[in-house]
Amino acid sequence: MFDYKLEIDEQKCSGCGLCAEVCPILALDFDPERNKAYVHDISQCLICRQCTDVCPVGAVIMEGGYWMEDMITS
């Protein structure tokens, strides 16, 4: 079951753009007009966690990951 959550906490986001730079597949992107990152296409996300690792303020919220559960139970 798809229970994966990926969100940007806009209150925390400082607009550095690093998460969109490291994302290998544009699941996250950056809006220069609003100076905030945003989730572009969650279905593309590889759950590599580079975005959470690089964010200096902890604004990328990532929870769950159905594929990990599938791997454990299969």
Neighbours of 4 (CB within 10 A): 16
Output the smallest distance, CB 66 to ligand SF4, in A: 14
Listed in sequence order, the residues at least 6 apart from 38 whose beta carbon sits closer than 8 Å to its beta carbon are 8, 28, 29, 30, 31
Among 15, 61, 64, 65, the residue binding ligand SF4 under the rule CB under 6 A is 15
- Residue 16 binding ligand SF4, by CB under 6 A: yes
The residues binding ligand SF4 (CB under 6 A) are: 6, 8, 13-19, 22-25, 27-28, 30, 37, 45-51, 54-55, 57, 59-60
